[in-house]
Structure 1
Amino acid sequence: MTARPLDGRVVAVAGATGPAGRATVRHLAAAGATVACSGTDARRLDLVLDATRRAVPGAVVVGQVLDLLDPQAAGDWADHIEAEHGSVDGLVHLVGGWRGGKKFTDVDLSDWDFLHDQLVRTLQHTSLGFHDALRRSPQGRFVIVSAAGAAKPTAGNAAYAAAKAAAETWTLSLADSFRTLAESDPEGQPQRTAAAILVIKALVTPEMREAKPNAKFAGFTDVADLAETVVDLWNRPANDLNGQHLWLTPR
């Protein structure tokens, strides 16, 4: 049997039931990874697992219904994966959501509460819960998906852009933790763990293209291309990848 690039790797996907999650789980499984999926809806999670097993014969995918707004649940998930599968080699954070309007004065601060929880708080809990397990991996990777609007916010997207910017800053702090701990390694081991940020304008799915065959979706990133970029993270040296913004849309 031909070796696959992620054979032996164990990767967790938070937010596995969305369009990006479904594509990422499938591509990780096809690359040979054992994929541990989480979501908040049991039925949707089962659909992801079943679809992946149909698309990728022999795929090793497991699922767990979790509320990642609970820090204990996030930490317990990391511990469970490591105990069950021997390591945690990656965490792909795809928990998301969008709220916005046309004018700055249209902003509803309840949108900020929602986006802070979905985009920032779940990230905080998973990064804290998985930090040590990822460092124990010979090739740990942590990645989030951000938006170009975080660097160039528009008037109506204030809450969304601010939440994405906060998520980026938190991830860069995580990257600095990985860097400084590697530099102080008493055995002088090279850096093995990295945190990175994928930057998109928006995502497009095959269903969206089918529904609007004449639409150009300019600057959009196909979910399959996003998933392939995630798989490729393990091909890149940790010290080159750590703390980087990987742009999947024109700047």
Structure 2
Amino acid sequence: MTDSTDTADVTPKDTLGGAVIAVAGAAGPAGRAALKRLAEAGATVIGADADAERLAEAVDEARYAHGGATVVGDTVDLLDLQATRDWADRIEKDFGRVDGVVHLVGGWRGSASFAETDLADWDLLEKLLIRTVQHTSLAFEGALGRSERGRYLLISAAGASRPTAGNAAYAASKAAAEAWTLALGDAFRKAGGDAGPRQAAAILVVKALVHDAMRAERPNAKFAGFTDVKELAEAITGVWDKPAAEVNGTRLWLTEKP
């Protein structure tokens, strides 16, 4: 397990022709940006979200942006392990392979102080930020292991490494999700043996995300240190340009390290 000391490269080449990539949490702003960028890079993209209407909009937007791209949406309850396994199996059966999983399921709850932390926030965040990671990683590990360029990518937050008093539940949830992802990376390392891993599990770390609608709502805000969702999508796509051994088990920082 290592940490990348440099900001991740965010200028990938379009080298994803033929790749099949699943995006969990595809209906949000980051998911929409990822669908479009991965499709632009030539990948077949299968997005999942619990919100069927927003997912359909995201898929249509990606298809429209890149005519001819194969972008599919599946409404999946990622809190149901069997449903997630069924989703993974269906993708491999329908498209013949799975070369990547991008985990973008998010959520945030916080408090004014540590003493005011509501443990109901933990109950929610444990499901959204940890349980969904557990389910997608367990469901897709086998398929990713059968790919020569399998990648499992978790989007995390710098707060996991430096929790603040009012973000205890959120930071702890993110830290647990990171640990789980790094454990998957260790499984890939062990499977690769002396030759090194052929697959990779990695974490892309941001301070927070920003998108055009946020800027429109708060035109005077500076969003210092935030990562634009388009920049995140570039960084996600660029991970496939790097050798598995270089990125497996690493944190790729898109913001200043704490």
Question: How does the TM-score come out when normalised to structure 1?
Answer: 0.95
Pairs aligned (count) = 245
**Structure 1 residue 120 corresponds to structure 2 residue 130:** yes
**Structure 1 residue 31 corresponds to structure 2 residue 41:** yes
2:215 pairs with one of 202, 209, 215: 209
State the match for 1:129 in structure 2.
Answer: 139
CA–CA distance in 1 between the matches of 2:175 and 2:44? Answer: 31
State the match for 2:156 in structure 1.
Answer: 146
State the match for 1:54 in structure 2.
Answer: 64
CA–CA distance in 2 between the matches of 1:36 and 1:59? Answer: 11
1:240 pairs with one of 230, 242, 246: 246
State the match for 1:219 in structure 2.
Answer: 225
Runs (4 or more) in structure 1 with deviation over 3 Å come to: none
State the match for 2:6 in structure 1.
Answer: none
Question: How much has 1:208 moved relative to structure 2?
Answer: 1.3
Question: How much has 1:66 moved relative to structure 2?
Answer: 0.7
State the match for 2:7 in structure 1.
Answer: none
CA–CA distance in 2 between the matches of 1:57 and 1:4? Answer: 16
Deviates more, 1:51-60 or 1:117-126: 51-60
Question: How much has 1:59 moved relative to structure 2?
Answer: 1.4
The 3-state SS of whatever aligns with 2:163 is coil
Deviates more, 1:160-169 or 1:209-218: 209-218
Identity score, percent: 58
The 3-state SS of whatever aligns with 2:115 is helix
1:103 pairs with one of 113, 117, 133: 113
1:71 pairs with one of 70, 77, 81: 81
| RMSD (Å), alpha carbons | 1.1
CA–CA distance in 2 between the matches of 1:18 and 1:45? Answer: 8
Which blocks of at least 5 consecutive residues in structure 2 are unaligned? 1-12
Greater RCO, 1 or 2 (C-alpha within 8 Å, sep 6+):
2
Which blocks of at least 5 consecutive residues in structure 1 are unaligned? none
State the match for 2:182 in structure 1.
Answer: 172
Question: How much has 1:191 moved relative to structure 2?
Answer: 2.3
Per-residue CA deviations over 1:26-62 (Å, capped at 9, x if unaligned) read 1000100000110101111110111111111111001
CA–CA distance in 1 between the matches of 2:167 and 2:21? Answer: 32
Contact preservation (8 Å) 2:190, 2:197:
no
Per-residue CA deviations over 1:173-200 (Å, capped at 9, x if unaligned) read 00000001111xxxx6552100000111
